[in-house]
Each structure stands twice: as structure tokens, then as C-alpha cells.
């Protein structure tokens, strides 16, 4: 009687697993939940179906190699099912070490240590320089200044000055028609000191641009002076355009996406300064 009940319980579990797999398959979630290697043993992802998968796989291995009087064909079927179910189990186990594996393989983008770099030394003069803020007209390289780059236009400003500018009434609105025949005002965005419209919140973001205060700004990858300096939004560093594109393409970096904007203040004088934002993705 006990053997009979044991077989009935195993058959019931097999049937329940079959129903679960069928539901997942019909709802296009079978591959996501059972056959990929991209899930982990945690409270959010380790579902009841995945728990049953382990027991079901062990049960099929037991029947394939056990002492029960099964024919060769039955043993082969059980072994085949167990082998198929073992694939996502291996994925679950491997995912436990996923974080360690990724950390071991990833490479960080080279970066300046701003606490040890040699800073620009000079005094405020009456002559205008390319490093002057277009709002307060002060040299951003001087001690006590906080240069920040505006994501929407790639220009560098004194932090307090550009924040005050954006917080005051420098908005753009447009007249749009309404159902009652009147015209309503629609907010378009904010304007920069050079009248460039910032029509999204992302374009209004400010990022520290401390490399401006280096005595001789260089690319942390090439260790040479800039020709086409691009600011990386993801880590706040500035790189030579070709160097960072090559590094990102050839290395498995911690960032799967890089947003590069021209760091206009560092471009050589009399050079053509691009305006487009470059997005690199793996």
C-alpha cells in the first residue's frame, strides 16, 4: 500500500508540474521562468514552480537510476526529462555567483583623482578668458569657484549663477488653441543664457566639471591634451572622444550605456565644436 501511495503522490506532483509548465508556456512566460539562466535564488524570483522543478528533477533521476522494475524506454524518458530540467537548475545555481563573476570581469573607466591633481593657479584679471562664466563673467578656474556643465548645451557655468538663472523666470511658453476658442499657454522649457531651449528635465541637469580647474587638463585614458573632449554623464569624467569610444567598445565596463556631451569649454580655440550628444550602448 505504501509503494502504491508513493507512486500516486509522485504522479500527482508530475501532473501538477505539467499543469504549471503548460500555463507558463501558454502565457509566454515559460522561457522567462524556466529555461533561461538569468534568475536567482531570492525571495522575489524563486517561485513555487521553480522549487517544484528541483524536486521533480530529483524524482526523475531517481526513477531513471533507481532499483524499480522499469523498462529501458521508461528509464530513458525519465533521464531525458531530468536532463532538460537540469538546465534551468544549473542557471539558478550559477546565478548565485553572478555578482562575483560580473565584478571580476568588469572594468571601470579610467578617472582622475581630483584630490591629488595639480590645480590652476592664477588671479582674477580684467581680461576675458575662454574659462569665464557667461553669467557672472568670472574665471571658473579660480579657487572657490564651482564649475558645472549644463547637460542641455555642454557649456560650463558657475554653479550658483546657473542655478539662479534656471530658477528665475527664464521659461519658454507657446500659445495653443483650446476647445472653447481661446488660446492657452503651454510650457515648452527653460532657456540658457545663449537662448537655447531646454525642453526636457534631463537637459536641465547640472554636473560637476572639476577638470576645468586642472592646471593642464588631459584625458585620463590617453594622458594627453584634449582635441575632442566629451563629458561622460555616467561618471562625471571628461575623455577624448575616440579614446572613450574605443575603450567602451573593447572592454566589458561597469556601464552598459554612456551618454557623452561635448565639454565645450575644453575644446581648443578656433576649433569646430560639435553640438550632438553621443549615446554608446552595449
Contact between 146 and 158 under an 8 Å Cβ cutoff? The reply is yes
Buried b (16+ CB within 10 A) or exposed e, 173-199: eeeeeeeeeeeeeeeebbbbbeebebe
Residue 176 in grid coordinates: 495653443
The pLDDT value given to residue 164: 93
The pTM for the full model equals 0.62
**Sheet hosting strand 278-281, strand order edge to edge:** 238-240, 229-232, 257-262, 278-281
The pLDDT value given to residue 262: 95
Res 196 pLDDT > 80: yes
Pairing of β 229-232 and β 257-262: antiparallel
Q: Tens digit of pLDDT for each residue in 130-179?
A: 899 999 999 999 988 999 999 998 999 999 999 999 888 777 655 455 55
Q: What does the DSSP 8-state code read for residue 139?
A: B
Within a 10 A sphere around the Cβ of 212, how many other Cβ atoms?
21
| Cα(252)–Cα(247) distance, integer angstroms | 9
Share of the chain above pLDDT 70, in %: 66
β-strand partners of 279: 259
State mean pLDDT over 36-41: 39
Q: How many helices (H) and strands (E) does the chain have?
A: 7, 10
Res 204 pLDDT > 50: yes
Residue with cell 550602448: 281
Contact between 244 and 229 under an 8 Å Cβ cutoff? The reply is no
Residue 115 in grid coordinates: 584630490
Q: Report domain extents, the chain.
A: 2-104, 147-156+206-281
Contact between 159 and 147 under an 8 Å Cβ cutoff? The reply is yes
Q: Is 278 exposed, middle or buried (0-12, 13-18, 19+ CB in 10 A)?
A: middle
Q: Tens digit of pLDDT for each residue in 67-109?
A: 666 677 777 887 888 787 777 777 666 666 665 666 666 788 9
Residue with cell 528533477: 57
Q: What does the DSSP 8-state code read for residue 32?
A: I
Within a 10 A sphere around the Cβ of 164, how many other Cβ atoms?
13
Residue 148 in grid coordinates: 558645472
Residue 102 in grid coordinates: 560580473
Amino acid at each position: 500500500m505504501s509503494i502504491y501511495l508513493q507512486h500516486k503522490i509522485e504522479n500527482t506532483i508530475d501532473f501538477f508540474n505539467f499543469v504549471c509548465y503548460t500555463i507558463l508556456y501558454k502565457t509566454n512566460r515559460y522561457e522567462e521562468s524556466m529555461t533561461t539562466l538569468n534568475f536567482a535564488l531570492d525571495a522575489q524570483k524563486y517561485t513555487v514552480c521553480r522549487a517544484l522543478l528541483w524536486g521533480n528533477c530529483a524524482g526523475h533521476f531517481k526513477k531513471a537510476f533507481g532499483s524499480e522494475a522499469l523498462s529501458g524506454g521508461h528509464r530513458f524518458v525519465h533521464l531525458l526529462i531530468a536532463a532538460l530540467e537540469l538546465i534551468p537548475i544549473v542557471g539558478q545555481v550559477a546565478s548565485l555567483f553572478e555578482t562575483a563573476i560580473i565584478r571580476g570581469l568588469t572594468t571601470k573607466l579610467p578617472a582622475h583623482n581630483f584630490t591629488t591633481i595639480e590645480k590652476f593657479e592664477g588671479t582674477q584679471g580684467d581680461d576675458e578668458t575662454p574659462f569665464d562664466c557667461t553669467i557672472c563673467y568670472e574665471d571658473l578656474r579660480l579657487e572657490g569657484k564651482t564649475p558645472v556643465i549644463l547637460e542641455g548645451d555642454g557649456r560650463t557655468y558657475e554653479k550658483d549663477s546657473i542655478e539662479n538663472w534656471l530658477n528665475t523666470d527664464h521659461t519658454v511658453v507657446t500659445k495653443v488653441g483650446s476647445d472653447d476658442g481661446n488660446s492657452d499657454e503651454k510650457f515648452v522649457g527653460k532657456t540658457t543664457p545663449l537662448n537655447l531651449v531646454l525642453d526636457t528635465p534631463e537637459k536641465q541637469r547640472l554636473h560637476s566639471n572639476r577638470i576645468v580647474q586642472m592646471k593642464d587638463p588631459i584625458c585620463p585614458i590617453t594622458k594627453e591634451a584634449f582635441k575632442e573632449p566629451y563629458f561622460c554623464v555616467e561618471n562625471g569624467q571628461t575623455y577624448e572622444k575616440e579614446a572613450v569610444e574605443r575603450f567602451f567598445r573593447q572592454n566589458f565596463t561597469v556601464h552598459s550605456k554612456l551618454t557623452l556631451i561635448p565639454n565645450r569649454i575644453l575644446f581648443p580655440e578656433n576649433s569646430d565644436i560639435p553640438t550632438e550628444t553621443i549615446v554608446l550602448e552595449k
